[in-house]
Structures are given as structure tokens and as C-alpha cells.
Structure 1
Amino acid sequence: MNSIRKRLFAILLAATGAVWLSAVVWIQHSTRTEVSHVLDRRLQESAQMVASLIGRNGGIVAPDAATLVDAAPALPDTGRHDFARQLICQVWGFDGQLKSESDGAPSQRLADGRAGFSEREVEGEIWRVYSHVDEDLGIRVMVGDARSVRDRLVGDVVIGLLAPALLILPLLAGLIWFAVRRGLEPLDRLARTLAARPATDLSALDDHNTATELKPMIGALNGLFRRVDAARERERSFTAFAAHELKTPLAGLKTQAQIAQIAPDETTRARALAQITGGVDRTDRMVRQLLDMTAAENPVETCNLPAQDGARILAEVAEGLAGLAASRGVTLALDDSPDPWRTTQAALLAPALRNLLENAILVSPDGGRVEARLDRLDGHVRFSVLDRGPGIAEADRPRATERFWRGAASPSGQGSGLGLAIVAAVMARMGGELRLSPRDGGGERAELLLPAAA
């Protein structure tokens, strides 16, 4: 059952039904007990009445003395009823002789000689009998009524009480349904408010005069709206920056192409073509970094991918950048890791390492050396990239991982300001940490710390 309204209705109806059923059972049992007690008292009083009248008659039992019980009502009542004249009476002497009996009484003795209540089957009918023993008069007065009549009386009384209760149950169900609908009306109003909102409206919902139970939900929705709005703002900024960063090299490429077309000599044409080649390389790096950023910020299922060795990932990334390092006269040195470490997130880790190594190569001076290694540190694995470039100025460190941010030491015309932003996004996805610190003797130390259990 996926409907909260129906589930709540069912729960309340079941709870109310359980209480109602308990009350019905209690009423039925109590009524049956009380009616049975009243009927027993009637038998007792009738027997005592007959004995009293016999005593007033001087102890002489008249032949029709037992018929006096015919006037005793079944229940206290002022009029006639279906249960009138349903009692039978026998008067037995201590000598074992039947002294008197009421009309319709069986010839067989209704009870044994003991005083009090008893039940006995006589002529195929079970009788509830009260025996009154009068030692002074030497008689036993037995008054009884048939169990079938008694059960019919009790059943009629119980049905008379339960019939209104049965009629109340549908009324209770209707009231519960109405109460549930009214109680959930604030949810319906909230749903209508959200449905009427345009997709561009991310303003906070007003929780004034709102049900207390809905305030946590509204607070969560407002928090979601704030995060979505912030994400949209980041996307707009990202798109604007990306368009700007791509526009500049594309305009340069167009200009250099025009120069190459109208170049008066081969030297000018060769210089223009070289500029075009450099511009294409920078644009290619920009597009690749944009794709890396997109991959880092969008979830990818990795649990079913094969695990790859971390040292091997680092070596493959370094091998791919060997040409760039050679063209800039930079030595790229790797330290082999004695401890194997494997991860299923190579598709995320590789771009992060590539951006770190690429940045280190681009900022290194001619003849410089970039070192990269993988080791373990306090339950973590650590990828380290060290260079001898100008490093990051202290004033620029708080913004070093912002998108499209270029520090004061960034080489002119190189980089897009996305490298460290990509690395930071990858670490956030992998549960790791990017650490940037000055290197002793000059340069920068970049470290990626990842859980060793990855």
C-alpha cells in the first residue's frame, strides 16, 4: 500500500476496530452475566415466595400452590412479555412425595435434594433449577426454567445491545476517513504549491503557519532548492568561463590561419603554422580538461569494474606525458612502489594524476626534474608529485582549486585554471584529500591521500 492516506486510514480503522471489538466482547459477556444473574434471582425469589405462602397457610401445601410462580415475571417489567409463564415449580415433601406442581411441570423430579442452583436434563430438556429446602415445613420447593428459553432471552438482550454497535462501525469508518483527509490537507496544499511553481523558481518555501510536522520537510526542500540554485550558478559560471577560454584560442587560431594565407615569405608562414599548432594543443587540453571535470562531477558505477594497480596507473599517465616533458626539457622520474595497491576507480584517478603531472611539467624550468611516487602513510596511500617550479604564492593558496583560477606564478598563455579544480573534484568523489605545500628548496609538493582500503 503506497498511499499514506490509505495506510493511515487502515491503521486507524484497525485500531478503532480492535477497541470496538473489545468493547463488544466485553458488553456481550457482561450482559450475558448480568441477565443470567437476574434470571437466577428470579428463580430464587420464586421458590422462596412459594415456601413463604405455604408457611402462611399453616404448612399445608395446597394442590395449586406451585402455580403461584406463573405470576412471577421473567424480568422486572410492568407489562406482558414473551417470557411470561415460562417457569415451572414442584413441591416435594421430605417423605419423597410430590405435594404440588405448576401447570406444564414434568412428572420427573427437577433436582436432587440439595439446596441451591443446579442443572438437570429432564424429558430431553436441560433445566436451570433453584431448590429451596424448608426444614420446618419439611418441604423442598424446586423452581426452574428451560435453558433454551434462558439462552433465547440472553441472546435477544445481547442482540438488542449489539445492533446499535454494529451500525456505529460504518459511521466510525466514515468519520476516520474524513479526519484523515482533513489531517493530510496540509500535504495536499504543499503538493499544489510545488506543482504550481515554475522550474526556474528556487526561492524558499514559506513555513509560516505551517503544520509542525511539515516544517522539517519544508526545511529540507528549502535546503535542496539552495543547493540546486548553487549548482545552477556554478554551471552558468562554468559555461561562461569555458566559452570565454575557448573563444580566445579559437580567435588566435583564426588570426594565425589568415596570417599564414597572406604570408609574404616562408618564415612568416612557418611561424604562423607553429602558432596554430600551439593553439590547437592548448585548445585540445582545454577540451580534455572540460571532459575530465564533467566525469569527476557525475557519478559513475565502479563496483563492477576490474581493480587496477595504482603504480601502473601512475606509470601509464607518466608515459603519456613523456612527449610533453621531452619537448620542454623536463625529466620525469618515477619511484617504484614496493606495496601493491589496487582501485576500481582508475577512470577518476588517472585524470587527477595527469593534471598534477602536466601542471608540474608546464611550470618546471628547462632542464628541471619532476618526481612522482606512490607510498603508504598512516593507513592511506599517497601519490606525490614534486616540481621545482615557482610554486603557489601564499596569497593564491585559498583559491588554488577554484575553476579557471590562475595564480600569479602561472605561466602566461599556458593552463586553463582547471587542473587543480579537477583534482579536488576527483578527491571529493573518491573520499580522498588534495594537499598542496611548498617544497623545501623551491617548487611545489602536491599529494593525493586516499584510503588504503579502496
Structure 2
Amino acid sequence: MSSLRRRLLLWLLPATFLAGLLASIGTYWGAVLELDDLLNDQMRYLAEHINVDPGEHVVLTDTGKKPSSLSDDNADEVLLQVWSAGALSFTTDPALTLPPPQETGLSDVQVGDQIWHTFVSQRGDKFIRVAQAQNKRWEELAGLAMHLLWPVVSLIPLLALFLWFGITYGLKPLRAVATELSERNVNSLQPIASKELPGEVKPLVDALNDLLERLANAFAMQKHFIADAAHELRTPVAALSIQVELAQRATQEVERQVSLSEVQSGVMRLTHLTQQLLTLARLEPDAQSPVMQSVELSALCKSVITDQVRRAEASGIDLGLTEHAASSIFGDPETLRILLNNLVDNAIRYAGARAKIDVAVRDTAQGVVLEVCDNGPGISAAERERVLERFYRGNNQNGSGSGLGLAIVNAIAEQHGAQVVLDTAPNSLGLRVQVVFPFQSEKYAG
């Protein structure tokens, strides 16, 4: 399992060590320059304060001591020479010979594989040279580097400890959220309090709260749907049970045939209701989005009318397509067929025998309009909004209806960004249902 704490430590510790190392290197190079200047100043001081008397005695003017006693601890690190008329008259290391000085001031002299940093001062005809081997300086610098690097290395364990506890404290809000969620049951979908959470954790908790809210809405809709479906299914199932019982008790064939006929009608109503319930379940907001494509509405209307025309003729209903503009929309052909089928089915069920049902497709300023108009009893203005709700049949209740047809139409229209408009038919009789699709329906493609 991947650990966020381990990830942070693996990034922060090397980064901190690298920052400390770079700071030490910067300090080291600054110290190198300072040490070079300091050692050069020391050589200059020695050269300028050496006094050579007529008896060739060499002493420091500010102490009166001989140079050999000046640096007893490191006599091999600093070399003092006195040159007179091109000849070496005094040296602190007779075994080491440097070439005669050619000029005064600071200079580097190569002797074999060793470089010597020198400072030469002139007193009359005498040249006083103070020299120091480069490797001795590097030894001093190496010791300085160790002093600079050691604190950085020694602080790594302490820094790791502080980072461990700091990251643990920083992740405390996440553990609190995880603990709160683990203690909840399936019905606890209340939002998590995010007011006191850090800014880095708050977006995650806000996203979780949004998911919990959507889950709560989905569960509420499912419970409502199941309760309504159970209520609606109870009546036809009870009616079927009664008719089967009557058919079993019938003593005459006529009575038995009547009961069986009612059973057949009840089965048809139950089948229709079940199909509508399954269709409505597929159209839930959180269901999988359909695949959108271009749909020619006039061709769809002709296909649906062909499927429904025999049923309309059986009731003496005149069903036809009055306007067929060559208009296409971006949508799901299957659900759009369900939408139009429900509109035509509702009109056939409620318009009554020998009614007239006109289907039309036209272009308007608002968009492409799909219209189904009948001259039946219609729906009162007070009920037009409510008939779009599930299982609402209104005052004109028909035993063969499920109360889901217009609810399904409204759900499919919303899925396509369209609007359902219910109005009175042009002749002031019946009902006109319009589904207005916006011209830029492509934006609803997924």
C-alpha cells in the first residue's frame, strides 16, 4: 500500500539535505576566499615585521623573538627566507630551497610538484620571503569543510524525526474524515463538516459532500419510485387475483369467459405498467447517458404512426402526420421513439373513439417542435403541470393508463435539453403537447 507520509519523507529529506549541502558549499567557498586573504595577510604581516640587523640576526620587530620560535607548532607550514645579493642568508628550513625572488608582493612559486604561495618584502638590498605550501592550505580547507558538513549530516536524523511528526500532524484531518466515514452506516449521508479543515483537505471533503448529496438524492428517488411502483402494482395484481378466483368459482361458461376476459385485460394493463416502470428506471438522472446521434424527426414520426395506426383505426381514430419539416436534432433515437410512442399512446387512450390525432414537425424561432394534438377531452389548466409527475392521472382517470406516460416524456425531454409544453388544441377542444428542441441540441451530446 502506498503511504503519503512515506512519499513526503522521501521527497522532503533529500531536498532538505541537498539544500543544506548547497548552503554548506556556498559557505565553504566563501570561507576559502576569506581564508586565502587571511593567510596572505599573515604572510604580509610576517614579511613586513621581520628585521635583519647588521649581524644578520632575524627578529620580529614587535616581539623581539626569533622567527623560528614564532611557530613552533607548525614550523613546517610557514617558510621564512632572507636573500642578500642573490644569495640565501637565512631560512627556517635549510632542506628546502626556493629560487631567488624576482619581485616583491604576492606570487606563486612552483617547486617540483608543489606550489608555494609567497610574499616578498624588500629592505635595502635584502629580500625577505614568507612562503606557505599549497597542500597545507588545502589541509586547513579540508578541515573547514568537515566542520561545515558535519552539522548538516548530524541534523538529518533530527530533521527526519521532526518531519515525521509534522507530517503525521498535518495528515490528522484526513484521518479524522476517514474515521467519521468509517463510523457511518449506509443511511448516514449527511455532509462532512468542512469549516475547520485545512485548505488542502477542504476540496476533497467538498467533493465527498457533493457525492453524498447526489447519493442521498438518488436513494430518495429510488425509495419514492419503489414505493409508488409497489402502490401502482398492488391494484392490478389484486384485481387479477379476484378475477381468477371468480373464474374458478364460475358455474356457467359465460361467467367464466367474462372473468377470463377481465384477466386478459388486467394482464395487458400490468404488462404496460411494467414496461413503463422499466422505461422510467432507465431514464433516472444517474443512469448511463445514451449515445447521441442525428435523428430526423419526420422519419421517426412516420415510423411511430405506422406502428400505432391499426390500434387507432380499431377505435375509429384518425391518426396522421400533418406537417413534416425536414428537421434533425441531436439525440438518442431509442428514447425519442419512446417519447413519441407515449404521446401517441396517451392521445389514443384518452381522446376517445372517433377522435382525431395530428402529429407535426415544424421549425420555429424557439427551435424544432414535435407536436401531438387531439380533439379529446383535454386536460384542465390547473392539472397540466401535475400530469408530468409520476402516477398522476388527474380527474380524467382511465383504468388502462399507468400515470407514467407524460412523466416519461418529460424525463426524455430533459435528457435532450428540450421543454414539454401542454396547451389547449387550436379548436379549443382536446390537448396539444409540444416538445421544443433547441437548435443547438449538439451540446447535450454526453
Correspondence for 1:205:
192
SS in 2 for 1:400: helix
Cα distance in structure 2, aligned partners of 1:401 and 1:257: 34
Alignment of 1:97-112 (within 5 A): 97-104=87-94, 106-109=96-99, 111-112=101-102
Q: Which amino acid aligns with 2:108?
A: E
| Structure 2: tracts of 5 or more residues without a match | none
SS in 1 for 2:384: helix
CA distance in 2, matches of 1:11, 1:391: 72
Asked if 1:361 corresponds to 2:351, the answer is no
Contact 2:106 2:118 in 1 (8 A): yes
Q: How far apart are the structure 2 equivalents of 1:354 and 1:209?
A: 54
Residue deviations 1:199-240 (CA, integer Å, cap 9, x gap): 222234345755565455445444443432332222122112
Q: Distance in 1 between matches of 2:290 and 2:231?
A: 34
The alpha carbon displacement at 1:247 in A equals 1.7
**Quick check: 1:225 aligned with 2:212?**
yes
The answer for the alignment partner of 1:300 in structure 2 is 288
Aligned partners of 1:110 and 1:299: how far apart in 2?
Answer: 98
SS in 1 for 2:189: coil
Matched residue SS, 2:107: strand
**8 Å CA contact retained: 2:283, 2:411:** yes
Which residue does 1:76 correspond to in 2?
none
Q: Deviation at 1:329? A: 2.2
Aligned to 1:127: 116
> Closer, same or farther in 2 for the Cα pair 1:245/1:307, shift >3 Å?
same
- Is 1:438 matched up with 2:424? yes
1:386 aligns with 2:377: no
When normalised by structure 1's length, the TM-score is 0.84
**Alignment match, 2:80:** 89
CA contact (8 A) 1:43 1:129 kept: yes
How far residue 332 of structure 1 moved from its aligned partner, in angstroms, is 1.8
| CA-CA distance at 1:308 after TM superposition | 5.3
Pair 1:100–1:394, CA change in 2 (3 A): same
Greater shift, 351-360 or 218-227, is seen at: 218-227
Question: How far off its partner does 1:171 sit?
Answer: 2.2
> Any conservation in 1 of the 2:28–2:144 contact (CA below 8 Å)?
no
The percent of aligned pairs where both chains have the same amino acid is 28
Whether the aligned pair in 2 keeps the contact of 1:381 and 1:452 (CA below 8 Å) is no
Q: Distance in 2 between matches of 1:231 and 1:337?
A: 39
Normalising by structure 2, report the TM-score.
0.86
Is the CA contact 1:108–1:122 (under 8 Å) kept in the aligned structure 2? yes
Q: Deviations over 1:296-331 (max 9, x none)?
A: 12533644x876544333333333322332233222
**For 1:406, which of 380, 388, 393 is the aligned residue?**
393
The question of whether the paired residues in 2 share the 8 Å contact of 1:89 and 1:105 is answered with no
Distance 2:2 2:382 in 1: 56
Counterpart residue type for residue 130 of structure 1: F
Structure 1 unmatched ranges of 5 or more: 74-79
| Structure 2 CA distance for partners of 1:300 and 1:106, relative to 1, 3 Å | same
Aligned partner letter, 2:118:
V
Per the TM alignment, residue 244 of structure 1 is displaced from its structure 2 partner at its CA by: 1.7
1:11-410 maps to which residues of 2 (within 5 A)?
A: 11-13=11-13, 15-50=15-50, 53-54=51-52, 57=53, 61-62=56-57, 68-73=66-71, 83-93=74-84, 95-104=85-94, 106-109=96-99, 111-113=101-103, 115-134=104-123, 137-207=124-194, 210-211=197-198, 213-215=200-202, 217-263=204-250, 265=252, 267-297=254-284, 299-300=287-288, 302-303=290-291, 309-335=296-322, 337-339=324-326, 341=328, 343=330, 345-378=332-365, 380-408=367-395, 410=396
CA contact (8 A) 1:111 1:120 kept: no
* 1:186, distance to aligned residue in structure 2 (A): 1.6
- Deviation sequence 1:30-76 (CA, Å, 0-9, x none): 222222222112211111122xx22xx35x533899x9444445xxx
The CA deviation string for residues 67-112 of structure 1, in whole angstroms up to 9 with x for no partner, is 9444445xxxxxx75x44311122234x433332221463332643
CA distance in 2, matches of 1:29, 1:229: 65
Provide, for residues 246-288 of structure 1, a one-character-per-residue CA deviation record: whole Å limited to 9, x for no partner. 1211222232233344445555444333322322221111011
Distance in 2 of aligned mates of 1:133 and 1:439 = 124
Structure 1 residues 232 and 306, CA, compared in 2 at 3 Å: closer, same or farther? closer
For residues 182 and 212 of structure 1, what CA distance do their matches in structure 2 show?
A: 15
Q: Does 1:449 align with 2:437?
A: yes
Range with bigger deviation, 389-398 or 27-36: 389-398
Give 1:423's aligned residue: 409
- Distance, in Å, in 2 between the alignment partners of 1:407 and 1:301 is 31
> Residues 120 and 247 from structure 1, CA distance in 2 versus in 1: closer, same or farther, beyond 3 angstroms?
same
1:430 Cα offset (Å): 3.0
Q: Aligned partners of 1:36 and 1:405: how far apart in 2?
A: 97
Q: How far apart, CA to CA, are the structure 1 residues paired with 2:5 and 2:299? A: 57
Task: Measure how far apart 1:194 and its partner are.
Answer: 0.8
Q: When the two structures are aligned, how many residues end up with a matched partner?
A: 436
Q: Tell me how far 1:146 sits from its aligned partner.
A: 0.7
CA displacement at 1:380 relative to structure 2: 4.2
C-alpha change, 1:64 and 1:24, in structure 2 (3 Å) is closer
Matched residue type, 1:272: S
Residue by residue, what CA displacement relative to the aligned partner does 1:364-414 show, whole Å, maximum 9, x if unpaired? Answer: 132222222334445844322222233332322332322112222x33313
Does structure 1 conserve the Cα–Cα contact (< 8 Å) formed by 2:21 and 2:152? no
In structure 2, the CA distance between the partners of 1:282 and 1:187, relative to structure 1 (3 Å rule), is: same
Q: CA RMSD in A?
A: 3.1
Distance 1:5 1:317 in 2: 62
Distance 1:268 1:149 in 2: 126
Please tell me the residue identity of whatever aligns with 1:30: G
CA distance in 2 between counterparts of 1:342 and 1:212 reads: 45
